[in-house]
Amino acid sequence: MQATPEQLKTLNKLQEADREALLAQHELDALPQKGEIERNKKRLAKVTEDASKVEEMYQSAKHSLQLLQDEDQQLADRQDSSKDRVDNAQGDFRSVTSLTRDLEGIAKRRETLEFEMGKANDRLAEISKVRQQAMDAKQQLEDRQQKLQATYDEQSSKLKQQYDEQKAIVDKLEPEVPADLLKVYHRAYRHCGGVAISYLVDGNHCSACRSAIPENRLIEIKRQAPISVCPSCHRLLIVDE
């Protein structure tokens, strides 16, 4: 293939920029935070689910305690008013008997309530502990997620910038390479892991795949100088003579 020294230089620069862009892309794909962020996200989802279950238990335990306390308060009020009525019954035997019976019933129920409130309090305290642990675990994972994301954002934006810069160079250089040469270059670039250009070295070797080129092919390759194609790896083979 024909190419002026200037076009060869441009092709080399193009290869360099394409390679740099590809490396930035690979580095971007390989950033370790990406996987960690995903794993952390899954853990966070699980912990959040657990925390919301604990929160439900906590609210229900709180409600149960509140019901007991409300009932106890009502009974305490009734106790007060019954005592007042006993004081004001002025010897009305029947009323006093009935009120006294009522007061006994209330006292008995309040005794039971006190026991139940104690149990409910203990249960609430227990759940509170678990609730705090769940909230702490959630907070920890959220902090970690934020940190991972920040590091990833910083590193990835740098790599994206590198990629964009190199791609801009590629866009600028490509029009300067003859179309048929560019086509072969692109094909080799795609098929050869981002290294499309090799050199004829040590007289008869491809610098990229290191294979020795047979004598009869070598004559043809030299005839096509300055650019041919490696018969082995199909990269653009630059023959510097």
Binding interface with Zn ion (CB under 5 A): 206, 208-209, 230, 232-233
In one-letter notation, the amino acid at residue 178 is: P
Asked if 185 contacts 196 with a C-beta cutoff of 8 angstroms, the reply is: yes
Min dist CB 26 to Zn ion, Å, is 22
Cα torsion at 51, 57, 60, 62 (round to 10°)?
-80
Backbone angles phi, psi at 229, to 5 degrees: -130, 135
Min dist CB 199 to Zn ion, Å, is 10
Min dist CB 221 to Zn ion, Å, is 11
Min dist CB 192 to Zn ion, Å, is 8
Closest CA to 21 of 153, 165, 208: 165
CA–CA gap between residue 81 and residue 98 (Å, rounded): 14
Cα radius of gyration (the chain): 42
β-pairing, 227-229 vs 236-238, is: antiparallel
- Encoded tokens for 215: 């004598």
From residue 178, give the alpha-carbon distance in Å to each of 11, 16, 60, 133, 220. 10, 18, 76, 67, 22
Min dist CB 178 to Zn ion, Å, is 22
68 vs 208, beta carbon nearer Zn ion: 208
99 vs 237, beta carbon nearer Zn ion: 237
51 vs 237, beta carbon nearer Zn ion: 237
Min dist CB 179 to Zn ion, Å, is 23
23 vs 209, beta carbon nearer Zn ion: 209
Continuous segment of H or E residues that includes residue 146: helix 93-173
